[in-house]
Structure 1
């Protein structure tokens, strides 16, 4: 019996889903009587222990969902309670049962977030905020206790930069409409925690909760069409409007409070260290729907989002701060500033007459008028639109807010300044006039084609094109970078150059012109960096610098001094990670590159890819090669005097780097963080972390405090000190693991097995993102994107991207080193954070594998020999990996050391397994359908099954 099947039996279908509800064959009361029963049951929520869920919350949600199913489609309730539907039921019932299971997984996730929030509150109440995991208070308290001097803290704060980057990779199956319902359900669960409600009020709250679940039932779960980039932009901005605008000022306040408490008498300047980036509307790599016009539209929408937020907050402040001059006399300095603001408003007398004696209101009204003018200009979207009476930059708005903040501080009204004005100023300084810093991303292949077109436009007749990456090619790039531009004719020559290039190459060059244009229109910090996917050589990066020069993105008119747009190489394959020091050393030998880095803040950022390195070499090898690369790049930076910072390209699933954030950061190599951290947040991860206020505040603090903790402890903590024997063992394990993985994925016809034994091809119809599943339209293993690669292996319950090769690696290691080797691995498991993290996540992934269901998918492969060969290899490696992982960890069975994880999985597996069996049959029927009409009939339930399994595991790609 597989571990997943064992967990399913452990959970039990009906018991796992609703342990206190009556037998499913009994008719349940509906309507007001049922609401009253559930309201009474929810009134006494027991104290939490180490549970993943609050039992009362789970029972309440399940009961309300069953009540909806009973009234809307009674047969579906049987499926919810774990019973199989008869084969004779109409297809509509089949679809509804799949949708209902998906809704249940969503509700379980909300219950999990609610329970986690309650647990954090209880810890804080019982032990204090400084005992709360992942809090600034705990990190700063430990630093003070360890004797970290205040001067070192100031130095760290000066360099501190944390930026999660929201991407639009196609891994989010939930529409914004559904996310909004989820948020309302979460908030109603929070309301129900309060003991203040009367029985009548509690019944009303539970009834309202039931209404939201019914709305989920009636809302279309699947997108009718593939989302546009504009819809993805709206999806990303949704989280800012709901939670993130508010979360960052609270984060800054928590850090300031912790510093003042644990370093009394010391003064600290807390910079705006936490900002968000985005790829939505700027990521062109393989997405033909992102062009310069889309990027411009994205920047305008980003600008509108923050300006609307500032306007809303200013209206609230103007209504709130009804302070009279008699009650709180302001300083002469403020009065002079107010007089100037009233005069500049053009309507000063009316403003003063409307709020006589209320000086704060008058001043805020003047600010509001200017924001309104700025917002009006933004809504017109004209590149040359003048801002009559508005703010040209976010700095001007922040300066005006600082005036009134200082006025309150000068009158000893510290609470007023901190509570009302400072959070808004922090928002403006953080989100500026662009909400996020938009990164641009393109593939090195596309950049190379554009450079070739540029060479041809300037080459003399008969000249031979140098081979890209040849010494002659590099010499041409360096010569072009050194050639001064004619400042007087540069704009005209740029326009003429665009006319000489083919359309796609002209569009690529114009990316950089868009940066130049939109920095003036939106915000000087509207863009983050240019990310070069699949960077293989230093000349790839030099080529980006040349295109930036041609578009006028250098600091000097001649275009030879320094580039104003950071260029970030993305190293994705294991070979490129290994060659990283060579690539970067060659790059940093170019003086212009050094000058550019200096002008941009003195730090070179390198992005490292978890997804493609995993697809390239397997889970163990990917993690070890990423760790080694960071160590070597950090050393190179010290040698060359150029600090290095890492941008971690993590995905949602374990196979793509989606590890627990705190543990993942803690396991990074010593000195590799150094107070600077960027990470991608994508798809379902974004909604899980940032959809609700409490969880959003927790996750931003978790991320920032983990970065701060790693920086403080990097050279002090034994766990981060490199150990030669550990590194040697990791190298041996990584090599053996990669060899086993490579032998598997490189065998003939694996893609044929994968396509038949998984819903790989059908994923493209799920409409989860605007980007195609393959680069450049190819259908090879190399061009298949990492997301569908992981997604499809998870759907068919092989999940091999998170474990394959690990068992062979450990077995080979122990075959050579015997008991001494096992003793070393067990010591590494206790002392090496990286090794422990890898083994733990492999173990959790193994718990999600179900060979019985996987075998059902394999039966879809028509070629018997291929099926038996491939599946036999998977079965053998799974048994070996399970055995080896338990030998290293000392566990008795898979996942027994993770009780909360086991509980979550046990609750979900009965339904996931049931849906998986349905999906196998749906795939067979869909593929065998004789007509397009028949295929369309099976498509919706098939897509619902994909969506449902993804929701059940909480991750897609």
Structure 2
């Protein structure tokens, strides 16, 4: 894509519309808008000449405020922060409005482009066969990375629409609204609030975009609507209300309440569609059926529930009767309206989105200790603790029941047991597809899987149990290395193997990019996940099981984000490709899936990537032994450097005392705590990936996205393998994507903002370690790309990042100034803490995938 196009459609428009802020009739806004460029210029020049943030802000104060008291400076800084926040949202709206012009929506990764290649290579029948079983699932999570409140997101949507139409009056009106609308939540949302927020995307974006992709695909391959056999080709998963891992506020009641909200939301969508369809299908014998469907959907929503539809099959039956009448008596006029609507009902059912239950393995350990302690023979607890793992597994599988009076258990354990009741109730109300997975975080053994398997078997009815998938989540480097051995052990257990067989010989396995990177660094984590997937595919195929991989990804490359099309297109035949499943969270939901156009584009990218990996697999994608050896060396070298860095005696104290890590809990953007552990001294293992990665992003240091990459590349070059690594970069899409995403992390870094720490008595040496590896990584990545510069293959991303970083530079200066002042010791600490907190929002929002 040409940079000129981006400049015309985005950069120039931003400059023009940004000037409208100056004319808004609010106190101080003209003054703030004219002073902001001064702080930006002072920051640019100051950091370039080696000044620290405090010196830059002091110079700004002298030039603008003279001898006025410090409180006047702080007041102005808060006004500047608010101004920049609104500039970021304006820029978001302009980019969103230009989406189809700056991205080639019919180019690489689109369904249309894929179909063109399929026709050219005579693979149409192969594609049709693959489409019968293939699936892409986007799983919306409740992770707290959405820093725009709902009312601000609504303004963003309206502003985007006005910009598309060049409606200056509406743009001005919306910017007037922006000037008075708060950008922060006063209170933390509840898990139910988070679910309601995401229901907006389901109703307004996914309900439109998923069917539209399928409609076009079905027409492109010339498949009859009624013959379409795979309504699961594109689906949406849902974690709010079911994700109990570390969130003490999620209860079984909330799970049911969220499921009811999902059912209510999809029925509202159906009701609106049916009213619109009835206006068109006014024919004898047809209209009555549509009216019947409309009334029974209404009853299921608002009226006497017993008179409404109980399940989607009942609705589809009425619709098919109308369809047959339309074909037989009315020449099939407007039949496509009904066909498309029937497909929607098959896709979304009465559940809309598929809920997952998730809990940490350590919680299940404790629950079983409590259960065993309350058995008739409580001496078994001591015996159980001394057993070998296989003996423990056999003991649990031998239990036919547990004490049913749950009041004898610990309160938290009572709630865990009730979660199985909630799972059953959700299935009963919304259908078996509505909730069919229980995910085990921090899974480290076959016993951890059996603990949940047996709890489900004892607590659920046969139907609910038989339609449940138990999903291990492997996260740390060691757990990923042991994953295939764990699954082999499970496949050898007759009861478990029989259950997998009853589930169609499919086993879903989740891998965690976020915690993997936190544990092992960028290169080691990604290569370990790749190797684990190969090993898990091999062992599963050996036992006649088709493994489904579910990737736990965050927004930034450090948490598995970045270019996902090339990642999935590069996996090769040694990794099972039956489905693509991936978590999408908070900020990335709104930036990549927040509008119908961008949602459709990104879903097509995932869909085509998974199909491409199957249809166009070639020898270049299967890594040769020599190439694997290079990746092993690179990953291990980077891992050792990252481990040394992580074990540095200043590592956790730097995160605690210098970065804004501790302020993430005060942002009121999510309901769950920032750490899995108890309050007190920071423990690395308890730290959640979001604040961990987010803290580095706030500092513009982005350690998890590149640390070790430079040393790894440099080391192999010194060993005479530089040419081999360059060849690997040229020929391996997987390696090229891996380094390309790391380039994005570096492009979003800005070390001059924290260069003052180089002279810090406590953290000077630690900062120098980071800067040294940053410089080396930037140099090596530029070298491996042939000196073309970072992100040379992604000019739109390159241009967008450059403008966004320029917009938030004043916020970076203000935040570092406040951090610097607090570390120097000041009387009015609260003011500086508030400056840090308030500047976080704009920095995160500008990055769009910072945490």
The TM-score normalised by the length of structure 1 is: 0.82
Q: Which residue of 1 aligns with 2:53?
A: none
Q: Which residue of 2 aligns with 1:372?
A: 298
Q: Which residue of 2 aligns with 1:290?
A: 250
Q: Which residue of 1 aligns with 2:646?
A: 745
**What is the deviation of 1:143?**
2.1
Could you tell me whether the CA contact under 8 Å between 2:754 and 2:816 is conserved in 1?
Answer: no
**What is the deviation of 1:414?**
5.1
Q: Which residue of 2 aligns with 1:256?
A: 218
Alignment CA distance shift 1:903-1:555 (3 Å):
closer
1:273 maps to 2:167: no
Q: Which residue of 1 aligns with 2:122?
A: 147
Q: Which residue of 1 aligns with 2:438?
A: 530
Distance 1:797 1:724 in 2: 37
**What is the deviation of 1:406?**
3.4
Alignment CA distance shift 1:807-1:928 (3 Å):
closer
Could you tell me whether the CA contact under 8 Å between 2:239 and 2:355 is conserved in 1?
Answer: yes
Alignment CA distance shift 1:72-1:697 (3 Å):
farther
Q: 2:592 aligns with which of 689, 696, 699?
A: 689
Q: Which residue of 2 aligns with 1:195?
A: none
SS at match of 2:462: coil
Alignment CA distance shift 1:55-1:851 (3 Å):
closer
Q: Which residue of 2 aligns with 1:732?
A: 633
Q: Which residue of 1 aligns with 2:274?
A: 314
Q: Which residue of 2 aligns with 1:942?
A: 836
**What is the deviation of 1:926?**
5.6
Q: 2:447 aligns with which of 516, 539, 543?
A: 539
Distance 1:297 1:927 in 2: 46
Within 5 Å, give how 1:4-19 maps onto structure 2. Answer: none
**What is the deviation of 1:483?**
4.7
1:67 maps to 2:29: no
Tell which deviates more after alignment, 602-611 or 505-514: 505-514
Distance 1:888 1:836 in 2: 10
Could you tell me whether the CA contact under 8 Å between 1:645 and 1:672 is conserved in 2?
Answer: no
Could you tell me whether the CA contact under 8 Å between 1:315 and 1:368 is conserved in 2?
Answer: yes
Could you tell me whether the CA contact under 8 Å between 1:157 and 1:271 is conserved in 2?
Answer: no
Distance 2:533 2:383 in 1: 33
Distance 2:761 2:255 in 1: 50
CA deviations 1:822-841 (Å, max 9, x no partner) are 11111111111111112222
**What is the deviation of 1:230?**
1.6
SS at match of 1:947: helix
Distance 1:116 1:849 in 2: 25
Q: Which residue of 2 aligns with 1:430?
A: 347
CA deviations 1:741-770 (Å, max 9, x no partner) are 101111113111222221111221111111
Alignment CA distance shift 1:791-1:649 (3 Å):
same
Could you tell me whether the CA contact under 8 Å between 1:284 and 1:290 is conserved in 2?
Answer: yes
Distance 1:253 1:474 in 2: 50
Q: 2:753 aligns with which of 853, 862, 882?
A: 853
Q: 1:499 aligns with which of 388, 396, 407?
A: 407
**What is the deviation of 1:911?**
2.9
**Structure 1 unpaired stretches of 5+:** 1-45, 193-204, 326-358, 378-385, 486-492, 557-561
Tell which deviates more after alignment, 772-781 or 263-272: 263-272
CA deviations 1:36-85 (Å, max 9, x no partner) are xxxxxxxxxx9973658434532342122333377762221124435466
**What is the deviation of 1:101?**
0.9
SS at match of 1:776: coil
Distance 2:756 2:194 in 1: 35
CA deviations 1:301-347 (Å, max 9, x no partner) are 11111111111111222233334x4xxxxxxxxxxxxxxxxxxxxxx
Distance 2:38 2:616 in 1: 49
Distance 2:756 2:831 in 1: 22
SS at match of 2:221: helix
Could you tell me whether the CA contact under 8 Å between 2:811 and 2:842 is conserved in 1?
Answer: yes
**What is the deviation of 1:428?**
1.6
Distance 2:353 2:290 in 1: 25
Tell which deviates more after alignment, 444-453 or 836-845: 836-845
**What is the deviation of 1:908?**
2.3
**What is the deviation of 1:264?**
11
Could you tell me whether the CA contact under 8 Å between 1:52 and 1:901 is conserved in 2?
Answer: no
Distance 2:773 2:714 in 1: 11
**What is the deviation of 1:539?**
0.5
Alignment CA distance shift 1:100-1:550 (3 Å):
same
Q: Which residue of 1 aligns with 2:54?
A: none
1:601 maps to 2:563: no
Q: 1:158 aligns with which of 102, 124, 132?
A: 132
Distance 1:223 1:265 in 2: 45
SS at match of 1:866: coil
**What is the deviation of 1:887?**
2.5
1:625 maps to 2:525: no
SS at match of 2:551: strand
Alignment CA distance shift 1:79-1:299 (3 Å):
farther
Within 5 Å, give how 1:328-367 maps onto structure 2. Answer: 359-367=285-293
Alignment CA distance shift 1:461-1:508 (3 Å):
closer
1:247 maps to 2:209: yes
1:303 maps to 2:263: yes
Tell which deviates more after alignment, 773-782 or 67-76: 67-76
CA deviations 1:613-638 (Å, max 9, x no partner) are 10111111111111111111111111
Distance 1:593 1:135 in 2: 40
Could you tell me whether the CA contact under 8 Å between 1:154 and 1:268 is conserved in 2?
Answer: no
Q: Which residue of 2 aligns with 1:343?
A: none
1:910 maps to 2:806: yes
Alignment CA distance shift 1:58-1:538 (3 Å):
same
Distance 1:106 1:604 in 2: 42
Q: Which residue of 2 aligns with 1:5?
A: none
**What is the deviation of 1:921?**
1.9
Could you tell me whether the CA contact under 8 Å between 1:176 and 1:238 is conserved in 2?
Answer: no
Distance 1:867 1:265 in 2: 64
Could you tell me whether the CA contact under 8 Å between 2:374 and 2:403 is conserved in 1?
Answer: no
Distance 2:525 2:30 in 1: 48
Alignment CA distance shift 1:250-1:671 (3 Å):
farther
Distance 1:824 1:921 in 2: 45
Alignment CA distance shift 1:481-1:250 (3 Å):
same
Alignment CA distance shift 1:361-1:96 (3 Å):
farther
Could you tell me whether the CA contact under 8 Å between 2:436 and 2:469 is conserved in 1?
Answer: yes
SS at match of 1:760: helix
Q: 2:375 aligns with which of 455, 458, 464?
A: 458
CA deviations 1:130-164 (Å, max 9, x no partner) are xx3322222122123223251x3343122112110
Q: 2:91 aligns with which of 108, 111, 116?
A: 108
Q: Which residue of 1 aligns with 2:397?
A: 481
Tell which deviates more after alignment, 628-637 or 50-59: 50-59
**What is the deviation of 1:553?**
4.2
SS at match of 2:266: helix
Alignment CA distance shift 1:676-1:471 (3 Å):
farther
Q: Which residue of 2 aligns with 1:188?
A: 162
Q: Which residue of 1 aligns with 2:845?
A: 951
Alignment CA distance shift 1:937-1:879 (3 Å):
closer
Alignment CA distance shift 1:908-1:143 (3 Å):
same
Alignment CA distance shift 1:391-1:740 (3 Å):
same
Could you tell me whether the CA contact under 8 Å between 2:225 and 2:339 is conserved in 1?
Answer: no
Within 5 Å, give how 1:173-212 maps onto structure 2. Answer: 173-192=147-166, 205-212=167-174
Distance 2:3 2:661 in 1: 44
SS at match of 1:159: coil
Alignment CA distance shift 1:567-1:464 (3 Å):
closer
Could you tell me whether the CA contact under 8 Å between 1:856 and 1:920 is conserved in 2?
Answer: no
CA deviations 1:645-688 (Å, max 9, x no partner) are 10000100110001222112112243524231110000110001
The TM-score normalised by the length of structure 2 is: 0.91
Q: Which residue of 2 aligns with 1:836?
A: 736
**What is the deviation of 1:169?**
0.6
Alignment CA distance shift 1:52-1:660 (3 Å):
farther
Distance 2:89 2:225 in 1: 48
**What is the deviation of 1:551?**
1.0
Distance 1:272 1:785 in 2: 32
Distance 2:636 2:158 in 1: 49
Could you tell me whether the CA contact under 8 Å between 2:520 and 2:643 is conserved in 1?
Answer: yes
